[in-house]
Structure 1
């Protein structure tokens, strides 16, 4: 029994490592840190996250994504912004929160497209293609999330680059980064092992 547990543990860890190496290795060239290196696209897709942390303070992941979206719009790298996030209730609406923040930054309402059904990364990307009709885009999120976004986008046939928003102090958000290791593994399973469940 111990040998079986040991074998399963090693196999699972190996699979996680392989998935992460595959995702990062095939997407890293399209992870852009300098906006001047972006080709540009009609639309930028901003991935939603909570506006506030559990302690009530502003969430730096949210703040930095909004700042990056503003930068791309004002530098002419995108003409419109799709704000995609989940909506659990009238009190929690990631897309609306991003819209309010961008309006405060002077972005015009007519260039903001709200997608309130982006509950998962794959759903945000699928809806960008299938609902809003875009096949080329610039993705806006933190670097740790960027690789998975691009991996999924590639599988969906999207021509995408990702402009990375500043990542908050890694030591303070280590659990978010560790969860991403598992999320990348799940992305491989969703796209290549159990794809029918995501149609």
Structure 2
């Protein structure tokens, strides 16, 4: 019985420690990036490029609500004179799934000239997208659009890679998967921290995957 109690106590202590570490890493990300995140478009400093991070696309090529809000937010920044051009970055690792083409098509439907759009077909995750934006596409001044729960990790990565990026919140509605995504984000923070500490290189530095 004593052994069982010790095991239970150790498990509880271990769980509490894990929770503290998870919340601690999240707090570090938020503290380092709080001054870089904007919600009021009138306060967003002008930058050269708006970076749109990819998210899921439906089988018919239609943007998911999360991705549509990111792209619509980027268009708002452009229409308000806060940015001059677009970088769309996302997953295109197979012929039958292409986040980038879907975003470009949507932008063009909304009246954005194709000459203003740069496509990154190998932004397989947030770290790769940020790394490639600065190192491959040589973007020095940028506003990143994504949801509020995603911005601290995104900007923590960019800041620690030496890029002078800021973020603008793309939340325009409640998302059905928001709770799950927020919990996933807590775990993704550890991956981002590890990648930043190692100065990891993306899977590819080519313009797109083959």
Query: Does TM-score exceed 0.5, indicating one fold?
Result: yes
> 1:150·1:161 contact (CA, 8 Å) conserved in 2?
yes
Which is greater in Rg? 2
Aligned pairs for 1:90-109 (under 5 A) are 90-109=95-114
User: Which has the larger displacement, 6-15 or 73-82?
Assistant: 6-15
Query: Number of residues paired by the alignment?
Result: 195
Q: Residues 11 and 167 from structure 1, CA distance in 2 versus in 1: closer, same or farther, beyond 3 angstroms?
A: farther
User: Which has the larger displacement, 106-115 or 7-16?
Assistant: 7-16
Alignment gaps of 5+ in structure 2: 1-5, 203-210
Alpha-carbon RMSD? 2.0
2:65 corresponding residue in structure 1:
60
1:125 corresponding residue in structure 2:
130
SS in 1 for 2:93: strand
1:50 corresponding residue in structure 2:
56
TM-score, with structure 2 as normaliser: 0.85
For 2:177 and 2:63, locate their aligned partners in 1 and report how far apart those are by CA, in whole Å.
14
2:205 corresponding residue in structure 1:
none
For 2:121 and 2:76, locate their aligned partners in 1 and report how far apart those are by CA, in whole Å.
23
TM-score, with structure 1 as normaliser: 0.90
Q: Hey, which of these two has a bigger chunk of helix by percent? A: 1
1:154 matches 2:162: no
1:19 corresponding residue in structure 2:
25
2:40 corresponding residue in structure 1:
34
Q: Deviations over 1:74-105 (max 9, x none)?
A: 12211110000011322211111100000000
1:176 corresponding residue in structure 2:
181
2:74 corresponding residue in structure 1:
69
SS in 1 for 2:130: helix
Aligned pairs for 1:79-94 (under 5 A) are 79-94=84-99
> 2:126·2:154 contact (CA, 8 Å) conserved in 1?
yes
For 2:131 and 2:13, locate their aligned partners in 1 and report how far apart those are by CA, in whole Å.
36
Q: Deviations over 1:21-77 (max 9, x none)?
A: 11111211211111111111111110001123x9x9852101111101111111221
